[in-house]
A and B are shown apart, each in its own frame.
Chain A
């Protein structure tokens, strides 16, 4: 994580209903195929099942689209 600070990645944070490690794996296939997504993880320990993405751009729309198309709820986690 510390080395991330040296890069220009944009961090995008979403609330989802990805609930199980198996679902994480399945969405992972989609996310891994996306060249704009540098890193991602789903925090299953959090109530909001937060999907955290480090991307080359700052746009939430395409990610939300991608995750929803895979069958999960996904919205930007806002303040």
Chain B
């Protein structure tokens, strides 16, 4: 019988994300995780029922953190240009501060292991309201949500990836996604979404 220890639990979660990012879901076993986190297998079972439970809990926790980071100082009723800029900054900061988490969240999206439907809806609600306001006020054109998302956010995530990797195309100097480049890209994205 062991007592719960919040620091230990946080360390286990952090190492689980690293293992999944570096070795995929199959690369994560309770034994490997115990080794990586420097705790016993028994300790891991104090906090988690099994591997699936661990992955699900880590995902739930990471989505909560991501939601909080993304909604910081964000007003869903703001003008679209201003709101999208806030979203870009928040999302970029989150990705830069939690690069493993960003990759993990992307892996989860394509995995049947994780139930995503019971996740915090605050984020979705805020983003829906933001977009519908903008459409009603004719700040952007109405689009299928997949197309909207791909134009509004995919450029951001791709450039953040180049930035984190420190390289882009062969023969190019290291890519730095600085404020000038952010504003340049954001301007093009806003132009593309205008009615």
A residues neighboring B (CB under 8 Å):
1-2, 5, 10-13, 41, 43, 45-48, 50, 52, 58, 60, 77-79
Contact = CB atoms under 8 A, between A and B. Distances in A.
B1 A79 contact: no
Given A41-B50, A79-B40, A13 B45 contact: yes
B43 interface: yes
Contacts, number: 52
A77 B2 CA distance: 11
Interface residues of B, number: 19
A60 B30 contact: no
Contact of B49 (A1, A48, A77): A1
B41 interface: yes
A41 B53 CA distance: 11
Contacts of A43: 30, 45, 49-51
A77 B50 contact: no
Given A2-B60, A45-B29, A79-B40, 4 more contacts: A1-B49, A46-B51, A52-B50, A78-B40
Interface of B: 1-2, 4, 29-31, 40-43, 45-46, 48-51, 53, 57, 60
A46 B40 contact: no
Contacts of A5: 4
Contacts of B40: 77-79
B84 to A, nearest CB: 33
Contacts of A58: 1
